[in-house]
Amino acid sequence: MPLLSFSRRFLIFSTVIPFLASIALYRLDTFDPALLPPNALDYSTTSLPPLSNDKLLTGAELIGVGLLNSPEDIAYHRESNFIYTGCVDGWVKRVKVTESVNDSVVEDWVNTGGRPLGVAFGLHGEVIVADAYKGLLNISGDGKKTELLTDEADGVKFKLADAVAVADNGVLYFTDASYKYNMRQFAFDILEGKPHGRLMSFDPTTRTTRVLLKDLYFANGVSKSPDQTHLIFCQTPMRRCSKYYINEERVEVFTQGLPGYPDNIRFDGEGHYWIAMPSGVTVLWKLAFRYPFLRKLTAIAANYGLDPLIFMANAGVLGVDLDGKPIALYHDHKLSHMTTGVKIGRYLYCGSLLHSHIVRLDLLKYPAQKRL
Ligand X SMILES: *[C@@H]1O[C@H](CO)[C@@H](O)[C@H](O)[C@H]1NC(C)=O
Query: Amino acid identity of 54?
Result: D
Q: Which is nearer to ligand X, 131 or 263 (CB)?
A: 131
Strand ranges in 310-346 using DSSP code E only, listed in sequence order: 315-321, 326-332, 338-344
Q: Which residues of 78-108 are buried (b: 16+ CB within 10 A; e: fewer)?
A: eeeebbbbbbbebbbbbbebeeebeebebee
Give residues with Cβ within 8 angstroms of 216, minimum separation 6.
175, 195, 197, 198, 199, 233, 235
Question: What is the closest distance, in whole angstroms, from the C-beta atom of residue 119 to ligand X in the complex?
Answer: 14
Q: How far is CA 208 from CA 147, 154, 202, 231, 325, in A?
A: 15, 11, 6, 19, 35
Question: What is the closest distance, in whole angstroms, from the C-beta atom of residue 101 to ligand X in the complex?
Answer: 7
DSSP 154-168: TTEE-S-EEEEEE-T
Interacting span for ligand X (CB under 6 A) from 1-9, 138-146, 226-234, 243-251: 138-146
* 160-219: contacts with ligand X (CB under 6 A): 204
What is the number of alpha carbons within 13 Å of residue 30 lying toward its C-beta?
0
Angle at 181 between CA 180 and CA 184, to 5 degrees: 165
Query: Amino acid identity of 119?
Result: V
Q: Which is nearer to ligand X, 171 or 312 (CB)?
A: 171
Q: Which of 8, 9, 78, 145 binds ligand X (CB under 6 A)?
A: 145
Question: What is the closest distance, in whole angstroms, from the C-beta atom of residue 128 to ligand X in the complex?
Answer: 6
Question: What is the closest distance, in whole angstroms, from the C-beta atom of residue 53 to ligand X in the complex?
Answer: 21
**Helices first, then strands: H and E counts in the chain:** 5, 28
Q: Which is nearer to ligand X, 45 or 102 (CB)?
A: 102
Q: Which of 46, 140, 182, 356 binds ligand X (CB under 6 A)?
A: 140
Please report whether residue 122 would count as binding ligand X according to CB under 6 A. yes
Q: Which of 8, 124, 157, 250 binds ligand X (CB under 6 A)?
A: 124
Question: What is the closest distance, in whole angstroms, from the C-beta atom of residue 170 to ligand X in the complex?
Answer: 6
Please report whether residue 126 would count as binding ligand X according to CB under 6 A. yes
Cα 72 from Cα 119, distance rounded (Å): 9
Cα 86 from Cα 113, distance rounded (Å): 11
Question: What is the closest distance, in whole angstroms, from the C-beta atom of residue 365 to ligand X in the complex?
Answer: 13
Please report whether residue 98 would count as binding ligand X according to CB under 6 A. no
Q: Which is nearer to ligand X, 174 or 233 (CB)?
A: 174
Question: What is the closest distance, in whole angstroms, from the C-beta atom of residue 167 to ligand X in the complex?
Answer: 11
Q: Which is nearer to ligand X, 94 or 337 (CB)?
A: 94
User: With CB under 6 A, what is the number of residues at the site for ligand X?
Assistant: 11
* Binding site residues, ligand X, CB under 6 A: 100, 102, 122, 124, 126, 138, 140, 145, 147, 149, 204
